[in-house]
Structure 1
Amino acid sequence: MKPGKGEISTGRTPSATLGDSMNSHIPALGRLRLAAIGLLLALSLPAAELPTQPLFVSGEGYKRYRIPALIVTAKGTVLAFTEGRVGGGGLVGDIDLVLRRSTDGGKTWLAEQKVADLGEDTLGNPCPVVDRDTGTIWLPFTRSPGKSTEKQIVAGESPAPTTVWVTHSTDDGLTWSAPRDLSATGRRSDWRWYGTGPGIGIQLATGRLFIPSYHTEPNEMYRSHALYSDDHGATWQVGATVGEHTAECQAAERRDGTVVLNMRGTNKQFARTLAESKDGGSTWSAPRLEKQLTEPACEAAVLALRPPMLRPGQTAAQDSLWLFSNPPGTTRRALTIRLSRDEGHTWPVSRVFDPGATEYSCLTRLPNGEIGLLYELARAGQPYRPELHFAKFPLTWVEGK
């Protein structure tokens, strides 16, 4: 299908998870301001007109699929992860982690395979990272009691909190290890809810495997943090927590080694929240609002295009390019791709990819140099049944060239 041809409409609001109901609390002036931003964006930039491939369609296999993660292995295989929700509801009940693989750069995809299934418990927030030194693919994720909702876990009303786990593959994603519980060192004992990503992790210049994460504390406050490994995944540690009202997050590293955490806020400000670390996530700056990046309380993706992730003909001096994707208005519509030429300080270029009902997304660099995108959309005339579609485009498309 081609987005922008009237084939996608609003769909139904997803079942409540972190911040899904916050739109109703935007002050009237703020709603008007953000609506104006979204309108200008939609009017000034053409929609994608690019083909997409449906990789996961709710009702075909699992009753519902949600939460995209997209990454390329050391051998160039593209891996698309998501949650397979058995009961078809929100983030509760029997949920597995599933995967589809492409060995030809996203042209064709192999059949869905199950990566992790721990009975009737809730597995969620896939956040893979590839170790460039060993080629191992690590997949941190979370596990919650299957009968407990996020709200119950946050309030301390669940029989057990959310724990953090990991599985890994050494054969390009064909097979996966038995899941391993990281909670002894990967979470603090008083944390209740826990989320990895969702999206992807990164490997820092130091070799550290860095998983952007978040949690809730006994006062029910959401805060972001880092989960990391300095020994190629053998052991995992938890870094410092970021300030209050921070949650789902993605990360990018600047050339000077600064890690920028790009976070979904929970304080009803409807802009992304940023924090920086000079030591790989061991400490963080005070969080600040990034008003260039508006949001409707939704996950977003960020991707640093570092060498060899450059267009043909580019030089190392041009490795300051970052990409960002999210629905930028007051509602989850009009998935937009933004481009920064100065490592996330400014975002002067943007283009609407899909003008319809869109939610979470994930970006990666494909073996041929194009950008890969896995994102959630809803179909017209149906109850809420999200589909995860894959698309690819050259960087020049974002620039309108």
Structure 2
Amino acid sequence: MLRLLLLLLLAGPAFAADPVQTPIFVAGQDGYNTFRIPALIVTPKGTVLAFCEGRKAGRGDAGNIDIVLKRSTDGGKTWGRVEPVWDDGDNTCGNPSPVVDAKTGTVWLLLTHNLGTDTESKIIAGTSQRGRTVWVTRSDDDGVTWAKPTEITKDVKKPEWTWYATGPGVGIQLKSGRLLIPCDYKADKGKVRESHTIYSDDGGKTWQLGGIAGPDANECQAVELADGTVLLNMRTYRTTNRRLVAISKDGGQTFGPTVEDATLIEPACQGSILRLPGAGGGILFSNPASKKREKLTVRLSTDEAKTWASAKELHAGPAAYSCLTVLPNGDIGCLYERGEKNPYETITFATFPRSWLAEKP
């Protein structure tokens, strides 16, 4: 008995295993120069879908860009090949923002499109050949096949808006069944910069414009709080380098004032927010916790995103956009942009148990 006690004391406390990290999209492979803008979801059948932009000509946001996908049917242990979801020749297909209808199992994918020769600066200034348009496609077989994209621009974009982006990241389904997609727009030659939502109350068949949050807001993600309110977490242009948040009490149709979250430092970059299932499951947030695109960090809140109880670093080096999900076995998955010299060398899939977040560094 004494020997057993000594062994237990020497062994020390039990710790969760370190995250398992696997690069699944690698720059220069599969016919693409760079992969960017990750989005990650799990279907009701347990298939893990990893979306991103496949950029053929270079790292930039314009030019020949496809929406691509990898699927995993074993919880992210192995992945299929890169499959195009939308390839429109030399044009730009971007900002994949998927949402799953848990009732039907349908995966809805919201997207944006513009001519490959129209740069973001031209679109914002209103001098582009054509504008930025909004589209939706769907899959009823866990991402194996996809419907031809349908344009919904007139339903979700005001005429005076120039730039428009869905996500980046994912949409959510509210307890009411509403499908909600976080978005952002620019107007008046970029002087107006705000976040907003679009939503569907008929299972994805039709979409309409929801609430607007700003000013100085950009790419955003949403989470439904325990009391049914929706919290919008936003990238900002403000020099304070802190995330903005706003609350909706009507399912994303209107938002209250934007305020800064003093804890959530950011370098003007996208972030991800996720509610963990179950009572008291908590809320996760991931982003580069720095004034530079580095230090991809996952935080846990146990009080409905009022404070952040713990923070763990997935990668200390260059990192940028990320997307969180709960995997079929209950572990957390994080798909994020990661590199050693710059953040855009890979899109890496990391998995870790919830207990890892509770460990002290």
TM-score band w.r.t. shorter chain: over 0.9
Unaligned 5+ segments in structure 2 are 1-14
Larger RCO: 1 or 2 (CA < 8 Å, sep 6+): 1
Matched, 1:396 2:355: yes
With 358-367 and 215-224 compared, the bigger mean Cα shift is at 215-224
Cα offset, 1:152, TM superposition:
1.2
Match of residue 295, structure 1, among 266, 288, 309: 266
Q: Following the alignment from structure 1 to structure 2, what is the Cα–Cα distance between the partners of residues 159 and 222?
A: 22
Partner Cα distance (1:379, 1:58) in 2: 13
Give, in whole Å, the separation in 1 of the partners of 2:333 and 2:263.
Answer: 23
- Which residue is 2:6 aligned to? none
SS of residue matched to 2:162: coil
Pick from 168, 171, 182 the counterpart of residue 152 of structure 2: 182
Structure ID, larger Rg: 2
Equivalent-residue separation in structure 2 for 1:269 and 1:357 (angstroms): 21
| Structure 1 residues 111-164: Cα deviation after superposition (integer angstroms, max 9, x where no partner) | 111101122211111110000011000000111221111111111111222111
> TM-score scaled by structure 2?
0.92
What is residue 226 of structure 1 aligned with on the other side? 197
Q: Secondary structure at the match of 2:223?
A: strand
- C-alpha contact 2:180 2:197 (8 A) present in aligned 1: yes
Could you tell me whether the CA contact under 8 Å between 1:379 and 1:385 is conserved in 2? no
Give the residue type in structure 2 aligned to 1:56.
Answer: F
Q: Deviations over 1:369-397 (max 9, x none)?
A: 000010101234xx775200101100100
Displacement of 1:216: 0.7
* Contact 1:338-1:349 within 8 A present in 2 as well: yes
Which one of 50, 74, 83 corresponds to residue 80 of structure 1? 50
Q: Write the distance in 1 (CA, Å) between the matches of 2:224 and 2:149.
A: 28
Write out the 4+ residue segments of structure 1 that deviate beyond 2 Å after TM superposition: 48-51, 383-386
Compute the displacement of 1:267 (Å).
2.1
Secondary structure, counterpart of 1:171 in structure 2: coil
Q: Does 1:93 align with 2:53?
A: no
The answer to whether the Cα contact below 8 Å between 1:156 and 1:192 also exists between their aligned partners in 2 is yes
TM-score, normalising length from structure 1? 0.83
Q: Is this contact kept in 1: 2:319–2:343, CA < 8 A? A: no
Report 1:314-333 matches (<5 A): 316=279, 318-319=280-281, 321-333=282-294
Could you tell me whether the CA contact under 8 Å between 1:70 and 1:78 is conserved in 2? yes
C-alpha contact 1:243 1:287 (8 A) present in aligned 2: yes
Query: Which residue, out of 374, 384, 387, partners 2:346?
Result: 387
What code does the residue aligned with 1:342 have?
Answer: D
Counterpart for residue 140 of structure 1 = 110
> In structure 1, what is the equivalent of residue 297 of structure 2?
336
SS in 1 for 2:96: coil
* Secondary structure of the corresponding residue to residue 39 of structure 2: strand
- Equivalence for 2:257: 286
Aligned pairs for 1:358-369 (under 5 A) are 358-369=319-330
Once the two structures are aligned, what percentage of the paired residues are identical? 49
1:55 and 2:24 matched: yes
> Which residue does the alignment assign to 2:230?
259
Q: Distance in 2 between matches of 1:271 and 1:161?
A: 31
What code does the residue aligned with 2:205 have?
A
- Between the aligned partners of 1:267 and 1:219, the Cα distance in structure 2 is 18
The answer on 1:205 being equivalent to 2:164 is no
| Aligned amino acid, residue 360 of structure 1 | Y
Query: Which has the larger share of strand?
Result: 2
- Structure 2 distance, partners of 1:75, 1:261, is 28
Shift of 1:218: 2.1
Aligned partner letter, 2:22? Q
Structure 2: distance between partners of 1:325 and 1:54: 18
Query: Contact 2:51–2:68 at 8 Å: present in 1 too?
Result: yes
Deviations 1:177-206 (A, max 9, x none): 001101120211111110011001000111
Once the 2 structures are TM-superposed, how far is the Cα of residue 49 of structure 1 from its aligned partner?
4.6
Tell me by how many angstroms 1:343 deviates.
1.2
Q: Which amino acid aligns with 1:324?
A: F
In 2, Cα distance between the equivalents of 1:386 and 1:275? Answer: 33
Over residues 190-240 of structure 1, what are the superposed CA-to-partner deviations in whole Å (9 max), with x where a residue is unaligned? 111100110010001111100000011125121100011000010000112
Structure 1: how far apart are the matches of 2:259 and 2:118?
A: 33
Query: How far apart are 1:269 and its partner, in Å?
Result: 2.0
How many residue pairs match? The answer is 343
In 2, distance between residues paired with 1:377 and 1:213? Answer: 24
Letter matched to residue 112 of structure 2: T
Tell me how large the CA RMSD over aligned residues is: 1.5
User: Secondary structure at 1:185's aligned position in 2?
Assistant: helix
Q: Over residues 7-54 of structure 1, what are the superposed CA-to-partner deviations in whole Å (9 max), with x where a residue is unaligned? A: xxxxxxxxxxxxxxxxxxxxxxxxxxxxxxxxxxxxxxx9x9533111
CA distance in structure 2 between the partners assigned to 1:93 and 1:265 by the alignment: 26
Matched residue, 1:108: 78
